């Protein structure tokens, strides 16, 4: 655990520095309030800060206020703030706590009391980390497909909406591809659903490995996947679809000690500036292209032009 000590008194700083290191903490030192605020704003800041009340630059309570305002705006991790002061009146305690401090210790302070309060602060930080992790897990469950860890259907459609809006604003194209594993029902029927799940996971892994960092893929339903390719015209979309197809075909999957040669069919289109972005119609055109790929013998990629979208919309 890293702890910030901010105090303009060299005696207090040295005492706290030596004591906290002895207790096993990693220490960061600041000599005034402005420096303390810079440290707490930086990358990977300490999550516990011991702040003297009266310092050059920002006072301890002023640092507390800025930390709380910044945390509220950014929804960042919590910082436990302990104020040190020779002030001992009730109104001073109230002022310090109202500034955003979590605790208050009067100088000269007892080291055992400081140790106990820091332990309490550490527990609060640990609990907050657990809450953030739980919140992130819930967010992941709401947006990701449980089996493949790809985006789920609603999330990938939302991504397509956002990319089309951005593309219209920036005057660039967006590629849309639907991929469907060939003869997937036979995998479940022959080898069982656990094997089918393994095929879906391996398919997802291979697709991710051949995509650009800013592309997106989600499980659209069953063995069908939707791919969003920002900045891709029809030629680029076709190339990306063929790359994904080849990645799946490149080598058999090892499923339950069985070498299974999987393949998939791909259908795509590309939206380009000059037509209204209609996600549903784009998906429909990609689905039509996928249907054609299936009827052309599977394990291939078929593209339909964006003009088809405009024609369907006009109709």
pTM of the complete model: 0.64
Spatial distance between the Cα atoms of 227 and 247, rounded to a whole number of angstroms: 15
What Rg, from alpha-carbon coordinates, does the chain have?
A: 29
What digits encode the pLDDT tens for the residues 50-69? 999 999 999 999 999 999 98
Q: What is the token pair recorded at 314? A: 């006009």
Beta bridge partners of 266: 179, 301
The yes-or-no answer on residue 113 being catalytic is: no
Please report, for residues 12, 166, 179, 195, 277, the alpha-carbon distance to residue 161 in angstroms, rounded to integers and kept in the order given: 57, 9, 19, 34, 8
What HEC string does 19-40 produce? HHHHCCCEEEEECCHHHHHHHH
Q: Domains in the chain, start-ordered, CATH in brackets?
A: 2-139 (3.40.50.2300), 153-314 (3.30.70.270)
DSSP-derived secondary structure letter, 109: P
With a cut of 90, say whether residue 113 has pLDDT above it.
yes
Residue 305 pLDDT greater than 60, yes or no: yes
Mean pLDDT of the chain: 91
Q: What is the mean pLDDT of residues 267-291?
A: 91
Catalytic residue, from 223, 249, 251, 280: name it.
223
């Amino acid at each position: 655990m890293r702890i910030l000590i901010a105090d303009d008194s060299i005696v207090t700083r040295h005492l706290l520095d030596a004591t906290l290191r002895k207790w096993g903490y990693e220490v960061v030192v600041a000599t005034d309030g402005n420096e303390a605020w810079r440290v707490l704003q930086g990358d990977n800041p300490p999550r516990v800060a011991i702040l003297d009340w009266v310092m050059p630059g920002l006072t301890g309570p002023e640092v507390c206020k800025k930390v709380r305002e910044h945390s509220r705006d950014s929804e960042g991790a919590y910082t436990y703030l302990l104020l040190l002061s020779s002030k001992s009146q009730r109104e001073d305690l109230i002022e310090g706590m109202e500034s955003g401090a979590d605790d208050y210790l009067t100088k000269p302070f007892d080291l055992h009391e400081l140790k106990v309060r820091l332990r309490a602060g550490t527990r609060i930080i640990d609990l907050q980390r657990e809450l953030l992790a739980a919140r992130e897990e819930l967010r992941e469950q709401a947006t990701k497909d449980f089996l493949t860890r790809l985006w789920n259907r609603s999330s990938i459609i939302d991504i397509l909406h956002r990319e089309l809006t951005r593309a219209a604003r920036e005057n660039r194209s967006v590629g849309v591809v639907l991929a469907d594993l060939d003869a997937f029902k036979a995998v479940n029927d022959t080898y069982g659903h656990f094997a089918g799940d393994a095929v879906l996971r391996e398919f997802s892994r291979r697709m991710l490995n051949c995509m650009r960092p800013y592309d997106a893929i989600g499980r659209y339903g069953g063995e069908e996947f939707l791919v969003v390719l920002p900045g891709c015209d029809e030629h680029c979309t076709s190339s990306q679809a063929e790359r994904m197809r080849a990645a799946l075909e490149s080598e058999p999957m090892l499923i339950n000690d069985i070498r299974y040669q999987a393949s998939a069919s791909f259908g795509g289109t590309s939206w380009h500036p000059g037509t209204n972005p209609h996600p549903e119609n784009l998906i429909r055109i990609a689905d039509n292209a996928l249907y054609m790929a299936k009827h052309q013998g599977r394990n291939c990629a078929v593209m339909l032009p964006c003009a088809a979208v405009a024609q369907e919309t006009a109709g």
